[in-house]
Amino acid sequence: MKVSIIGGGGLVGSMAAYALHLGKIASHICILDANAQVAEGVALDILQGTSLVADQRVTAGTIEKDIPDSHTVVITAGLRRKPEESRLDLINRNVDLFLGLLAQVKAAGLKPTTNLVVVSNPVDILTHLAVERSGLDWRRVIGLGTQLDTARLNSHLARRLSLPATQVRALILGEHGDSMVPIWSSATVAGLPLAHWPGYTPTLEREVFEETKTAGATMIKLKGGSGFAVGVSIREVVESLLLDSRKVLPVSSLQQGLYGIRDICLSVPTVVGSGGARDQVEVAISPREHVALGNSARVLRDILEQVRARLSGKPVVAVAPAAAATAPAQTPSAPQASAERTVPRQAWQAR
């Protein structure tokens, strides 16, 4: 099955392509990028290893030519923040870029059976806009959401507790951003409660979550951005779509009322298979986690309201941000010259 990656010439897109190559499931990986030369180079680089990995076609292409016969389209294209640019301005620039790409994809002849995977940030907002504007059934539009955050959390926990990373199971739900919600109440190690594991403490819990929340900024500081972890996180979602694996993954999709949340895209446990988000699952979580998840939805609605107001030409009215329920309140940054609401850091930073 063919997977086309828009923005495949960038760090995230190329790492996703390479992870899919190593996964050996996609029969055709197509690299699409505004820089056609870089796209060709990424495709050729991966192609040159196929004799050692898998019998795959790896090509560079264009939206017009390659979208119509794609089984899954992954959008990773995004912009970096400019000096002196506000966070909301960057969100708006990324929204404009994304909507332009989405219009091209739709015009190229996006099939109703195609699955659209949104990776670009702010991922939950862009996923919501894709549901509204792609023409696809909402189930076929999936945002990477907190899939990467969850992978980071489990890996950091395993390192701190000297455990095999594949046996640590903890979820992060809600927004891919500052209001993300760690679900400690169901966290396990090899099926046993994490809370009772030797060496686990509330302090460790706080430290690991903070390390997870700031992982994107850390990667930018150390090496310019995330690549490997986000690549395999994307692969996990795409391969579940290709194989109809029906894995339960913390991905972003349009909410239908579970946890008291409706009409906003964020991450809840989601059964991912050939039809996209085949089901959304509500399980018991602690009262504090439930409140925090509702707060995450409110944060995202506020950002979406700002974006919609700009797109419709209406003035944006400043309001106080919702306080996070899982951590002490943050001191807001100094206001911009024009009215601007506080926007969570990871809604605009690169991964």
Which residue numbers are catalytic? 176
Rounded Cα distance, 259 and 255, in Å: 9
Q: Which of 71, 115, 119 is nearest to 98 (CA)?
A: 119
CA distances from 219 to 74, 222, 226, 230, 238 (A): 22, 5, 6, 11, 24
Place of tokens 């489990």: 154
Q: What angle do CA 343, 119, 281 make, to 5 degrees?
A: 90
Rounded Cα distance, 92 and 313, in Å: 13
List, as own/partner pairs, every contact residues 235-238 make where C-beta atoms lie below 8 angstroms and the sequence separation is at least 24, other chains included.
235/16, 235/19, 235/20, 235/22, 235/23, 236/147, 237/117, 237/142, 237/144, 237/147, 237/272, 238/3, 238/16, 238/20, 238/25, 238/26, 238/72, 238/74, 238/117
Residue type, 66: D
DSSP state of 191: T
- 46 in Cβ contact with 21 (< 8 Å): yes
Contacts of 103 (CB under 8 A, 6+ apart): 133
- 251 in Cβ contact with 272 (< 8 Å): yes
- 115 in Cβ contact with 139 (< 8 Å): no
